[in-house]
Amino acid sequence: MAQKIYLPNGMEAIQAEYNTFPLEEFNQNPFIQALPLLADKTTIIKKLAVEPSFSESERDMDSIYRLHMVERLYQFYQPLPIHLDIWDMIHSLLIQGYLARNPFDIDYRRYQNESGKQIINRSYEINTRLNFRTTAGCGTLIGFSGMGKTTSTNRVLSNFPQIIVHNEYNAQNFNHIQVVWLKLDAPSTVSLKALCLQFFMKVDELLGTNNYKKYVSRNASVDMMLPLIGQLAQNIGLGLLIIDEIQNIKKRGADQIMNFFVSLINSGVNLAIIGTPGAYALFGNELRIARRVTGNAEIIFNNMDLNNEFKLLLESIWKYQWTKTYTPLSDEIISVFYHHTQGISDLVVKLFIFTQKMVIKNKKEHFDVEDIRRCAEDNFKLMEPMLDAIRSDNPYKIAKYEDIRRIEKTSIETGEHKTRKISDEENLKAEVNNKLVDISTKEKKSKRLAYEEEDLRLLLKKGVEEEKSPYELLLENGWIDDMAHWNEDSAYD
């Protein structure tokens, strides 16, 4: 186990210990050799899994204590196949990004020195390579809110040291502090300057340095700070910069920030971008940007289907019952859980917690499907419109909530989305009108029928008499939603 040490500012770090990899290209670089060895699936699962403390004897304790024991389930973490993909993405980004950044490579050291001189002389050009070809890349993790994107990323990162202190490498003096990863949140203000300032402050917080005071002034521009960020990242051996909550970036200023990300990659900084489906449209507008931000991996984290993966999650958590009477897991319970959570892992855990607490409080001490339904109705009232939209599988209803849009397999570079795109209200009106007018034409050619009250053809017939368009009739009678607000904030514009 690596020796822990503490920096002068009190932050914890580890002393570098160099591993030998089967791949020779990894064994010439201290930044890579100080990283953990590659692991197989079984090892990764063991490292990621979190099992809360539990004993069956605890079911006999007083309810006031058991109510607190149920809260342990918030610590529960069951690795699923997609979590292994996240691990692989992060580990791959770290290693591949360091390949061209060997501190003992003459060309790389020359590049650092020349870049530093250019920054001082204010002649730095981000696209000037100076005989240095970066191996930095970018990975994206886009998915449903509540599926655990941030939690999963944090679980993976916890298995990689954040700060490594080097003293000697291959019998040579090598005094260096390596920051393996750094995590930022995309500013809700869509301010590039705020993101740059956050970078400097985070580095100072970790290392106890004064880069913020040194480089940042009131008049400092983003163009001035970008090369400084790239140079600082090289100086501290930054392996990966993670930017979370990317959906905070809206259309205003999006192109500028996406260009900023590409510039960071060009300067040698590895990126991982995390966000909800609301951010997905940011990547598809320009091939150059889409190609770079999905260069190493593109992971889509949709809600789970009612399949073996969802059953695995429930089976893994089901033993953690603090009610006096154990409730076996049945197919009916699995179905009810899925109906009320729609495969969103955060809601699965919360519903299991809320149900147990409810029956412990009312002294029933066991639960059934009706208790689960009642608990979901009482606790998920605010989320019910979103869950209803997911159940409907109606793209018009789902599109109201940008963080639950299900992203199907797409080609992000060509923009060939299998999911349907709707530009504005007029497109929707035209489509509805065209389809229903076509129905009207066919009905005129057929013999008259006695339609039932809820038959759309009866509604259409009345509309002809009242001289109203099919769209107006459907809207007035609640068959479709008013899409006027799409013109203002649709993510598909």
Rounded to 10 deg, the angle between the 308-317 and 331-341 helix axes is 100
Name the residue with higher pLDDT: 489 or 262.
262
Amino acid at 365: E
Q: Is 218 exposed, middle or buried (0-12, 13-18, 19+ CB in 10 A)?
A: exposed
Average pLDDT over residues 128-144: 75
Contact yes or no for 195/188 (Cβ under 8 A): no
How far apart CA 411 and CA 414 sit, in angstroms, is 6
Helix (H, G, I), strand (E, B) or coil at 469: coil
* Inter-residue contact 351 to 375 (CB < 8 Å): yes
* Beta carbons of 261 and 269 less than 8 angstroms apart: no
Residue found under tokens 């109906």: 339
Q: Which residue has the higher pLDDT, 467 or 439?
A: 467
Q: Where would I find the beta strands (DSSP E) of 144-239?
A: 163-169, 172-179, 181-185
CATH tag for 4-34+80-292 (out of 1.25.40.320, 3.40.50.300, 3.40.1440.10, 3.30.1490.100): 3.40.50.300
Q: What's the token pair of residue 116? A: 């530093």
Q: Is 235 exposed, middle or buried (0-12, 13-18, 19+ CB in 10 A)?
A: middle
429 confidence band (pLDDT: 50, 70, 90):
very low
Q: pLDDT grade, residue 453 (50/70/90)?
A: low
Q: What is the pLDDT of residue 157?
A: 95
pLDDT over 60 at 339, yes or no: yes
**Residue 290 in this model has a pLDDT that exceeds 70:** no
Per-residue pLDDT at 493 = 45
> Would you kindly state where each structural domain of the chain is located, as residue ranges?
4-34+80-292, 425-489
pTM, two decimals, is 0.78
Residue 475 pLDDT level (bands cut at 50, 70, 90)? confident
Judge contact between 33 and 99, C-beta under 8 A: no
Q: Which of the pair, 190 or 154, is modelled with greater confidence?
A: 154
> Greatest CA separation found in the chain?
95
Structure tokens at 108: 């790389």
pLDDT tens figures, 240-261: 999 998 887 765 556 677 777 8
49 pLDDT higher than 90: yes
